[in-house]
Structures are given as C-alpha cells and as structure tokens.
Structure 1
Amino acid sequence: MHHYRQALLRMRQGDSDRDIAAARVMGRPKAAQWRHIAQAQGWLDPALPLPDDEAIAAVLQEPRRASSTVSTLEGHRERLSAWVEQGVSGTAIHAALRRQHGWVGSYSSVRRLVADIRSQLPPETTCRLDFEPGDAAQVDFGAGPTLIHPDGQPRRSWAFVMTLASSSHQYVEFVWDQTVATWLGCHRRAFEWFAGVPRRVIIDNAKCAITRACAQDPTVQRAYAECAEGYRFKIDPCPPHDPQKKGIVESGVKYLKGNFLPLREFRDLADLNAQARAWVMDEAGVRCHGTTRRTPLALFALEAPLLQDLPSQAPDLGTWHRVSVHRDCHVQFERVLYSAPFTLVGKTLWLRATDAAVALFEDYRHVATHPRGLRPGQRVSVREHLPPEAQAFFGRDRAWCAAQAERIGPSCVALIEQLLSDHVLERLRAAQGVLGLLKPYGRERLEAACTRALAHDSPHYRTVKTILATGADQRCDAPVTTPAGYGRTRFTRPAHELFADLIPTPQPDLLH
C-alpha cells in the first residue's frame, strides 16, 4: 500500500511512468494501470487530499471469482458446521455421513468442506499467563520407561514433574504408580528439593488429588487437602479439558521425554532417578530456556528466597480410606487386619494411614490407633476392642490360671499344674472352670475339694465340682483302722518261705 501511495504522489507531481519505474516504486505497466485507475477515481487532482489506505484497498481489491463447482455435501453444510464446532474430526464426520445418511462420496470432499467451514470460523485466541517468583508451581505426571519391578515383572514407570512457574526449575521423580500416597510423598520430596514451598500448586484433575472435577467447585481429595494445609499452599486445579492452564509443566514433561529418556539405559528405578537428578542439575537446569532466554538455575537463585519456608516440623501426611468393621471386630487395609470396638461391627469407618500408624475414625470421632502392619495377613488387635466374653476368655490364659491358683492354696496349684501339663488334651478351659468355682464356694472349700480330688487321683474339673456340690469337702471322714488280727494274714507267706523246701540242703564232704 505504501508503494501505491508513493506512485500516486509522484503522479500528482507530474512524474511519468518511466520516472516512477526508474525510482523503483513500481514497474511501467503497473504504473500505467494504476494511473488509469487513479484518474477514474479523480485522485490525480493535486487540490484534493490523498485517499486513505482503506479507499485504495477497496479499489484495488479484485472481485472474488465464483466457484465453478458446487460440493456434493452443500446440502449437509449446516449439519457439518455443527459437528465442526463440537470438535468432531473429519474421519468421524465421513463415517457418520456414510452410516447415517448413506452418502457414498470420498473423504476428500469432506475434508475440503470442513476446511472451508473452519476458515469462516473466528480464530482461536489465547493469553499467556505470567507468574511472579515464588507464586506458583505446576505439577503433572508423564509416562516413563518400562523397568523390572521388585516383584520380577516388567512394569511401566511414571514421571512426577513439579516445575516452578517463574524460573522453570523442576523436580523430577520416577515412581511405580499414581496413588494418593505416592502423590503426597512426591510433593514432600519436591518441596525439600526446592527448600521452599510455592504459594500455589497448579494441577490437573487426577483422582489422587481431585475427587470431583469442576471448573467452579472442584472437590479436593481429603489427604491432599491436609497436605496443602500442612505446607501452607493453595491447590489450583485446572478446569476440566483445559490443560493449557499448566502449559509450563506440560512443556517440561515433553522436554523430559524428548531430551532425557532417549538413548539412555537404566538398571532399575533407583538408577533412573539418580540419572534424572543429575540431568536436571547438569543439563536441563543450565540450558537457555526457550521462553525466558535465561537458565532455570540462574532464575531459581532469584526465586528461591521468595518461596515460603518449609514448616519446622514436616506434616504427618496420611491417606484416607473407607473401611467396614467385620464380624471379627477388625477392618482390613492393604491385607492387614486392625481391630475396632465391637460396638461398631457392621459400620463404615474412615481409616487414615501413615507410614508408621493407622488411625480409625467414626465420622470425625477418633476410635483407635494402631501401629502399621508389616506383612500381609498380620492381625493388629487390642483386647479391649473385643466383646466382654471374648475379653474374659483371652484374658484368662495359663499365666493367669497359675497366678490365681497360688492365691488359693498348694493343692489348687498342684491340680492346676496337672491340668495344664496334659500332653494329649488342651485343658485350659478345665483349669478356668476350676478357678471359676472360687466365687460361689470360697477359697477354703475349693482348696479342700482340690485336696480330696488329688487324694483320689482324679484331677478333673467334674470331680472338683461334684465334691463341692455334694459337700464332700466338708465331711471329716475318720481313717479306717485295721484289726490286729489282720496284721499278718494266715495264708500268705513271703517268697523265701514259699520256696524254702525246694532249695537243696548242702551235704558235708564225705572225703573228709
């Protein structure tokens, strides 16, 4: 447009087409054509003001040629426009036309009409977000290499990436899963890596962080909310289906996959993380960043003092789970059983698990706390959680029986020892039954009954109970006296007398 205005100005000054061409404003044929148009518009009169650019452009604009061909899909233009606005791909539109409307045209026709529809739509616009130092960090997961899991099977690893939005310095850790416990642990180690906490953490809507995705009122996972409260940062989830809101970490994950993972070998997960930390500090941290045009570590040196301080005591991060109290007064978590009060059998509780302990809550009322189980199938129990009859049974063990017998007397001790020392039959209940007779009969009668049972060589619960029930322990039976005549029987003899006649008598030596 500048050349047309310059040519018009020279024509008003009396320059010929040759002069305009010599000044390299435009060629002679084009100058002659432009002179003809300007003269028709009356723009060569020096007394009139020069036309503006819009008027010149309107004159120079060539009329659009009408297309000589009409698309066979012109009758479906309105339907295709609605599909394009919904983001449906061209291949899906082509398949839907063939399936629903019996259209037999080629995909090229669909592609041309879709391109024409998209050219008439308003262009998509965006706005780049700027962050102050220490204001925000962005977090995302990315797929990592396949390694051999400790269980011996190959398994996909995942890269946890936290990038400071201002300096683009990042923390990278490869993990086996995306559970809530892993998510919280990665946050803890990332904050310790940066030696500070940003004021906001921008995330997507992963289930380990957001239980209900919503642009206006998202629901935060309970354990993650406790983590944010402990480290004093705010959770800023992106709206659903809008990952551009955390484009900094998205680019960081892409850079990690394209620059770090290719052409490297990893022995195991520990070796992978060691190489990743070295790569962050020696390569990624000292590169010239494509957006900031500065090295991330240099910018991080300015951002680090503006991060929030780490808490003096690290928060006790735990995960929350819903568990049911079974008939045996235990709940199950990760194949370990933990006891709960028997009054809660059949109810659903909240279980909060940390690395060292497991706590049970009924709504917000604390119920019990147990040390964390170490092996599958382990039963972590508190005796007070069991029903009263079960507490009584398990509380009366062998040591309790022995202690109670000593309080009663030596005969009771001897009888209880014989009951518990049986090598064939477990007689703990019998011993408990004998000691249970103390309450209705008293110590003296029970000791006497045990003495009588031992005298008759019958150390049994039924014997002791029968003696007490019949009052035999209270009878003073006189000892049986044997008459003097029966001191030695008349028809019995010792063996040496019985066989005395059969022993030969030694004869004297006749030679002497």
Structure 2
Amino acid sequence: MRCLPMMTITEILRLKEEIHLTCREIGEAAGCSKSTVSGILSRCKKCGLTYQDALQLSPARINELIYPDAFGRKQSKEEPDWEVYHKELLINPRRNLQYIWQEEYRPEYPDGYSYSRFCAKYNEWKDNTGKNVVMPQEREPGKELFIDWIGDTLPCVVDNITGEKHEAHFFVTTLGDSSYPFVEAFPDETQLNWNQAHIDAFEWYGGLPRILVPDNCKTAVVHTNLYDPKINEAYNALARHYQVAIIPARVRKPRDKASVESGVGWLETWLLEWLKGRIYYSFEALNHDIRERVLELVEVKFKHRPGSRRSNFIAIDKPALRPLPQDRFEAFTTRKVSKVPNNYHVKFADFYYSVPYSYYKRSVVIHAYAKKIEIFDVVGNRIAIHQRRYAGQRYVTNTDHMPANHQAIAEFNGFNGTYYKQKAFRIGPNTFNFVDKLISSYEFEEQAYKSCMAVINFSRTYGDTRVENACEKALSLNSVTYTTLKNILKNGQDSLPIKQSSSDADTPTPYHENLRIGEWM
C-alpha cells in the first residue's frame, strides 16, 4: 500500500466522518482508489486516529501512527542528552564535538554512533530545536557602536633609525543601521590605545551613539559575566565622560555584533589586502592612507539594499547621533598598587613616581596619560600628579611628598655650583667672584660646595656688607680659601683699607658689565 500525504489522509477522514461519503466517493474526491481509502480508514480505526485528532498532530506523527513499519521509531541506540553537550560547547571554548564524542560519549555508549553520525545527529537536534536559526536584527539608527580589533596584523611600519618593522593592529567600529566604519592602526592593543581609538572614532562620526558594544577583551571587560560584567575602570571613565552605556557582547556570540564582524571581513579584503606590501615610516602616515581608503570604500554601493554606507550614514545614522561634549576626554590606562613601598614611590613603565609618604603601606591607583601621571587613593582623591617620563632619571620626586628629614637631605643634595653662585651674587659682586674662583679651584666642583655654603652662611653672622668687604680683601690677597675669609672676618680685617700692589697681576678683576653673572640672577 502506497503512503499518502498527510493532507490526503486528513481529507479522507473528514469526508468519512463529517460528510459520511462512501469509499468510492471519497476516492473520487481525494484522487485515490477505493481500496486505498478503505485501507487508510482501517489503519486509522486500528490506531484510534480521528479527524479532530489529525488536525492537532504533526505530519510526522500521523505517518508514524498510520505507517508504523515505514515511519515508526526504529532507533535502537539510546539518544544522548544533546542539551548537555550543547551547553558544554558554549561554556568551554576549548572543547569541540570530537572531544565530547571521544572523551564523554563513547565511554558511556561504546556501541553508540560513529563520529560522523554523532555530528549529524547533533546538527539535526540543533535544527529541530531552533538553535541554528538566526533572528533578523534591525538596528536602530545611531543607537549602537560595535567595536572590535581585526584579527590580522601587518608588519608595515618601519623605524627609520633602526630599520625595525612594527606590527600594525587595526581597531574597527561600525555604526547603527548603515554599518559605517571607522578604522585606525596602533602599535599594540593596550588600554591607552583602546580608549584613544574610541575618542578618535567619536570625532570621525561627528557625534555620539547611546550604547557601545565591545568584545570581551581585557581593555573593555575585566571579568565576563552574562548578568553583571565587570567593566574596565579606565573604559568606564571614558563612558561616563561621553555619557554612553557599555553593553559587552556575550562570550562566543558573534551575532551580537554581526555588524562589526561582517565589517571586519569586508575590511580584511578591501583594506588589508590593499595595504599589503606597503611600507610606512610612522603610524600617522599609515592612518592617513587608511582614512583615505575608507572614504573610498564607503562610497561603494550595497549589493542587496539601496545606497552606500556613506549615503545611509548621512541619511539615517548621522541625524540620530548626540552632539560631542565641549571637552575632549584624555585617554589613560590604570594600574592598582596594592601597597606603597617604604620609599613612597610607585612604579609605572620602568619609572618611579612619588606619593605623599603618609601613604606608605596603603593602596593607590595610577592613571597614566600620554603626557602625565596621576595617582589617586582608593576613594578617588588625587594625591599626586607628575609629568610622565619616557627617558632619563628613573625616579620622579616631588619634595613636598617627603618627610621633613628627607626634605633637608634632598635640599642639601640639590645644591650645586649654580645655586651657590646665585646666592653669592645676591650678597655682592666680590662675593660672587670669590665663590666663582673657589669652585674653579677644585678639579671636581662638588668638593667646593661645603666651603661655598660656609661663605653664604657668613652673611647670617656678619651681614652682607662685611662678607662683601672680606671677599674683596681675600681677592686682593689672591687667597681664595675658606680659612682666609674666616680669619679676615674673625679678626675684623675687612674694615682695614686694602693695600694696593705695585703689580696689577695680583689685583683681582674688578666687577664690570662684561662679567658673565647675569645667568645667575
């Protein structure tokens, strides 16, 4: 007996139960023989299938009831729990179907499906449960900015001094309904560059979306969680400044940001392939060419919708964007220091920056900008600010951060020849000449610093006038030493007139306008 379609079976039951036709009449109406109609009615009676029941059942179930030999369940192998395996694949990115089949399924079901049949049955289960179908998503204009890094890098930037090649990493965003892209190259994917790329993207679009949809990279999300993801502190600061929300895409759910995923694929072909083989000597030059190329690409017409990315951006997304704030956000990266060491300096990028000594053993947070370093306590109060250093001395110290005894030592260590000459010049020209010759008389000027300090301190004991006269006396004697000056002042010889020498060679050079003392003022 041939199998009839479900609609024909349902029609035969209707004609029999609702209209009460004969088998011959039903056969003529349904397009089958009298014996076929009789056989179908007999099978329906045997399995208890009525017309009303048939209306509620699926075609597969009706076939199973009427043709059990052809459509009945013949599977002798026990079906695994596909839902469990499916969740394992979603939760653990390192697992795949082959691992589950080999390590979990086969030990439990030694006579079960082969690997190819296992995969086929799993995909069949996904089809039947709707796991493989895609929900169409219509983007609200100007609402969401989708963000990602292109997976591929290019060694296209060369250091013109060392000749070393640097990899270019490409930051990509697409906006709203138009998928209008922004692309910028960076030497790495650090927090500072991540935030700076967002700032540049907002300015490229000329406005702000309401929601940022990044991937789950560490520069965006510190701790991934479906219900309460922990957003990176520096990234959150940017979002607060621009008044935008951050809603990360779900882990291993590329369709959450299908716009940027398709944009990445499109740009890998039409931008990265175009850049291959090109050499640049700065990232500024590379980004100039990237923007010129993107402006060309966005004019290309869509294949399956009217217009281009640019025309749709101008008509749909651009009017929906919010205006940019007046103040531009300064991108920074953060680093938490769990305990300030006993030298009250915290490390960032191989340099050490001071904090007030009272924060010894306490936690602080460093905000590193391109040109400055700010340090905050755990409740957000700024406690220190420094110019960021990339070369030179490794310790950057504000003396106000020191305890009193350290300040005294630092002050003494900070005195140099320039300092003592400045102090001497304020007393008078003879004192300046005395200190200048005193420093010059030593092979290493640091050896003269204590004697210079004594000369300056004499003014506190004897006054500026007596020190000035004593220095003039010592210069006339051609004896520029601490001991000579001390004896002159101690014995009151500074008040005695200076004896003129017959030889001008021993006369100290008088003070005049050509002396190089202006720089010490």
TM-score by length of 1: 0.71
2:154 corresponding residue in structure 1: 146
* Runs (5+) with no aligned partner, structure 1: 480-512
Q: Which of residues 131, 134, 144 is equivalent to 2:142? A: 134
Is 1:459 the equivalent of 2:480?
yes
Q: How does 1:339-488 map to 2 (within 5 A)?
A: 340-341=355-356, 349-363=364-378, 364-373=380-389, 375=391, 387-393=406-412, 396-406=415-425, 408=427, 412-422=431-441, 424-426=443-445, 427-443=448-464, 446=467, 450=471, 458-465=479-486, 471-473=490-492
Measure the CA separation in 1 of the matches of 2:494 and 2:290. Answer: 90
Higher helix share: 2
Measure the CA separation in 2 of the matches of 1:35 and 1:272. Answer: 81
Is 1:38 the equivalent of 2:41?
yes
Measure the CA separation in 2 of the matches of 1:366 and 1:195. Answer: 32
Is 1:161 the equivalent of 2:172?
yes
Deviation string, structure 1 residues 189-220 (Cα, Å, up to 9, x no partner): 21122211111111222111222222232222
Measure the CA separation in 1 of the matches of 2:119 and 2:342. Answer: 64
Q: Which of residues 288, 297, 311 is equivalent to 2:310? A: 297
Contact 1:84/1:114 (CA < 8 Å) preserved in 2? no
**TM superposition shift of 1:376:** 5.8
414 and 8 in structure 1: CA distance in 2 versus 1, 3 angstrom threshold: closer
440 and 79 in structure 1: CA distance in 2 versus 1, 3 angstrom threshold: farther
Measure the CA separation in 2 of the matches of 1:393 and 1:19. Answer: 117
Task: Give the secondary-structure state (helix, strand or coil) at the position aligned to 2:40.
Answer: helix
Q: Which of residues 184, 189, 202 is equivalent to 1:173? A: 184
**TM superposition shift of 1:223:** 2.1
190 and 38 in structure 1: CA distance in 2 versus 1, 3 angstrom threshold: same
1:484 corresponding residue in structure 2: none
1:89 corresponding residue in structure 2: 96
1:288 corresponding residue in structure 2: 302
Q: Which of residues 191, 194, 202 is equivalent to 1:183? A: 194
| Alignment root-mean-square deviation, CA | 4.6
41 and 188 in structure 1: CA distance in 2 versus 1, 3 angstrom threshold: closer
Measure the CA separation in 1 of the matches of 2:319 and 2:296. Answer: 22
Amino acid at match of 1:135: K
Measure the CA separation in 2 of the matches of 1:212 and 1:271. Answer: 36
**TM superposition shift of 1:308:** 0.5
50 and 357 in structure 1: CA distance in 2 versus 1, 3 angstrom threshold: closer
Measure the CA separation in 2 of the matches of 1:191 and 1:407. Answer: 56
102 and 201 in structure 1: CA distance in 2 versus 1, 3 angstrom threshold: closer
441 and 348 in structure 1: CA distance in 2 versus 1, 3 angstrom threshold: farther
Measure the CA separation in 2 of the matches of 1:307 and 1:16. Answer: 71
Task: Give the secondary-structure state (helix, strand or coil) at the position aligned to 1:144.
Answer: coil
Contact 2:178/2:309 (CA < 8 Å) preserved in 1? yes
273 and 289 in structure 1: CA distance in 2 versus 1, 3 angstrom threshold: farther
Deviates more, 1:399-408 or 1:188-197: 399-408
Contact 1:94/1:107 (CA < 8 Å) preserved in 2? no
1:62 corresponding residue in structure 2: 68
1:209 corresponding residue in structure 2: 220
Contact 1:289/1:296 (CA < 8 Å) preserved in 2? no
Contact 1:144/1:156 (CA < 8 Å) preserved in 2? no
Q: Which of residues 2, 6, 9 is equivalent to 2:7? A: 2
Contact 2:144/2:213 (CA < 8 Å) preserved in 1? yes
Greater Rg over alpha carbons, structure: 1
Amino acid at match of 1:187: H
Deviation string, structure 1 residues 250-281 (Cα, Å, up to 9, x no partner): 22223333454347634146676456545544
**Percent identical across equivalent pairs?**
24
Measure the CA separation in 1 of the matches of 2:486 and 2:453. Answer: 12
Measure the CA separation in 1 of the matches of 2:284 and 2:477. Answer: 73
**TM superposition shift of 1:166:** 2.3
Contact 1:144/1:157 (CA < 8 Å) preserved in 2? no
Is 1:318 the equivalent of 2:337?
no
Measure the CA separation in 1 of the matches of 2:350 and 2:113. Answer: 58
TM-score by length of 2: 0.70
Task: Give the secondary-structure state (helix, strand or coil) at the position aligned to 1:204.
Answer: coil
**TM superposition shift of 1:419:** 0.5
* Runs (5+) with no aligned partner, structure 2: 1-5, 90-94, 499-521
Contact 2:157/2:168 (CA < 8 Å) preserved in 1? no
Deviates more, 1:364-373 or 1:231-240: 364-373
Equivalent residues, number: 460
Amino acid at match of 2:365: W
Measure the CA separation in 2 of the matches of 1:114 and 1:265. Answer: 39
Deviation string, structure 1 residues 141-174 (Cα, Å, up to 9, x no partner): 1223422333444444333221123222222223
